[in-house]
Chain A
């Protein structure tokens, strides 16, 4: 079941990648002395405005909170988040510039790419994903994704990323990395506590359900003072 699911996902992605026009991922800018020109190093993977590309491995970064994007850039630079192509690219960039890059993409609001067609996903997988995302699972001490990532899944200032508009492969990969301790956040690392309570099939279910959600009209992250979070998270302190 597990491997079949993954195989199916891979097939969807392949079909999707070919169908989805890649023009947003070709370098282009208006003025050499602009942030738009400076971040051309990002466009073939994350799209010109950070909207993401057809590839399931590269996330949409547009509109994610600047604090989150900055902490990830610093972690890639310092090697505490490991992904060699990113580690290499930002290795010698100073804090102030990484902050500016983060703010640049946090301000972008490009249209969302068409969703991956998940019609073929097993109904019981979707049925399992929905309650975890929207309500959590009290039997496993699992809070709902929406409790921190926002009712519209657009994230929360300053450090919680939006989950809407991401590919299922990317979400599943990140949750899995957290489960095995490969990816970490600032202590107290709430995502580590959550991910370690998810089973493999939970991860697949959450990833697929999340990737099926429509973005709200306003995709800005929620402000940080609207809700009290069910867990303490270092990224919000």
Chain B
């Protein structure tokens, strides 16, 4: 959805709430109330409201809208290693959208990854995760999508390379990587944990990025939440199971929840693709759902198989260390504090921040090159930003300062080489 679209919806919802509030306070203008206050919102409206909330939880709008296009009208190019896919029009237009679909058709697409006309969907549509969504929730999302303005906009044909343009291949992919089935609550866990698991594994489709993607575009269940490079975006989605990467094990529930819903926390800040997720989706989650997701994420089994790098791997040439220290003192210490403590939550700490010391240094390098702003959210509408340094620091300088923050203050990262900087410098920031 375009941001103006988001704002439009926010305004529209705000206006609707204002009108509703006015109507409640002027009961005479309402049809005779049928008993309790909750009856003020008719059941149909409740379903659509819930559908809207769930559509946000599923972040449908991020892929099914172009940046300046109409919400849900599709057309956004999804670059994949196999070629471009174009998200489809899911507005209720009869000809080009899903206006003639039934709730059954919609559930089949969500649950089985099969479109109304029987074509198999490409797994860029996260049906391998959405399959966990309940029928009731799928129906609510469908009711909401039917309520948005229809947009007549034909779907763009995908531009996949041979052989990936053969949809029959999807049968193989499905056999390997797709397990159909709604979420089944774990009776040994609390209702809160199960709610979190349902959102994270289902609508949230977190494993799409936080699990390594293999050459066939599949994710292995055994490596779930273990982190991976996001194809074509070249950001690293950290492991959610490793203390060395995301460190959720010793985070408080509030710190995890803040990162998801606010975009900043006492421990770290979201940038890049995760900033988009928070902006379009997670900031709208209720405090209860946010905490439920935090409870579930914190409970993920820890699979810290690999030991921290040996001290020999962390050896840095004294000259590089000195150069990094000098650059840090001049350019970074103002915001991140001379000892790397930052001024959280506005400026994240670098000391003890696992996203700095992860085995792959892609994220800290990209931050130094391109800077970044966390998303502006309901709870943090005026975020603090970091400037780009790509035009000021040479490859050797960036390597030195990233090396410095990865090993200083007892951080247990490894040094980076100037060649790693020049590779990332050529990428368009996104």
B361 within 8 A of A: no
Closest A residue to B374 using CB positions: A92
A45 within 8 A of B: yes
- The size of the chain B interface, using a CB distance under 8 A, is 40
CB neighbors of B among A187-233 (8 A): none
Residues of chain A within 8 A of B276, CB atoms compared? 91-92
A32 within 8 A of B: yes
Decide if A40 touches B385 in the complex (CB within 8 Å).
yes
Contact of A42 with B391 at beta-carbon distance under 8 Å, contacts A84-B429, A94-B7 already known: no
CB neighbors of A among B58-87 (8 A): 67-68
Closest A residue to B371 using CB positions: A41
Write the A63-90 contact mask toward B (1 if CB under 8 angstroms, else 0): 0000000000000011110001101111
- Distance between B387 CB and nearest chain A CB, rounded to angstroms: 4
C-alpha spacing A77/B374, complex, angstroms: 13
Decide if B382 touches A91 in the complex (CB within 8 Å).
no
B123 within 8 A of A: no
Contact of A77 with B382 at beta-carbon distance under 8 Å, contacts A26-B330, A40-B387, A45-B388 already known: no
Contact of A44 with B391 at beta-carbon distance under 8 Å, contacts A38-B382, A89-B372, A93-B383 already known: yes
A25 within 8 A of B: yes
CB neighbors of A among B321-361 (8 A): 330-332, 334-335, 343, 346-347
Residues of chain A within 8 A of B334, CB atoms compared? 26-29, 40
Number of A-B contacts (CB under 8 A): 109
Closest B residue to A96 using CB positions: B381
B384 within 8 A of A: yes
C-alpha spacing A31/B332, complex, angstroms: 16
Decide if B387 touches A93 in the complex (CB within 8 Å).
no
Most B CB contacts (10 A, CB to CB) among A37, A85, A94, A96 go to A94
Q: Which of B4, B343, B388 sits near A78, CB closer than 8 Å?
A: B4
Decide if B373 touches A92 in the complex (CB within 8 Å).
yes
C-alpha spacing A77/B276, complex, angstroms: 12
B106 within 8 A of A: no
- Distance between B10 CB and nearest chain A CB, rounded to angstroms: 9
A13 within 8 A of B: no
Q: Which of B275, B346, B387 sits near A45, CB closer than 8 Å?
A: B387
C-alpha spacing A43/B383, complex, angstroms: 15
Closest B residue to A35 using CB positions: B382
A142 within 8 A of B: no
Q: Which of B3, B275, B390 sits near A95, CB closer than 8 Å?
A: B3
Decide if A41 touches B389 in the complex (CB within 8 Å).
no
Closest B residue to A28 using CB positions: B334
B104 within 8 A of A: no
- Distance between A49 CB and nearest chain B CB, rounded to angstroms: 14
Closest A residue to B272 using CB positions: A88
Residues of chain B within 8 A of A40, CB atoms compared? 334-335, 384-387
Contact of A93 with B384 at beta-carbon distance under 8 Å, contacts A29-B334, A78-B2, A78-B3 already known: no
Closest B residue to A55 using CB positions: B391
- Distance between A184 CB and nearest chain B CB, rounded to angstroms: 12
Decide if A89 touches B373 in the complex (CB within 8 Å).
yes
A-B contact pairs, 19 of them (CB 8 A): A32-B346, A40-B385, A43-B387, A44-B371, A44-B392, A55-B391, A79-B68, A85-B390, A87-B430, A88-B370, A89-B388, A89-B429, A91-B275, A94-B3, A94-B376, A95-B3, A95-B4, A97-B376, A100-B382
Interfacial residues, chain A to chain B (CB-CB below 8 A): 22, 25-29, 32-33, 37-45, 55, 77-80, 84-85, 87-97, 100
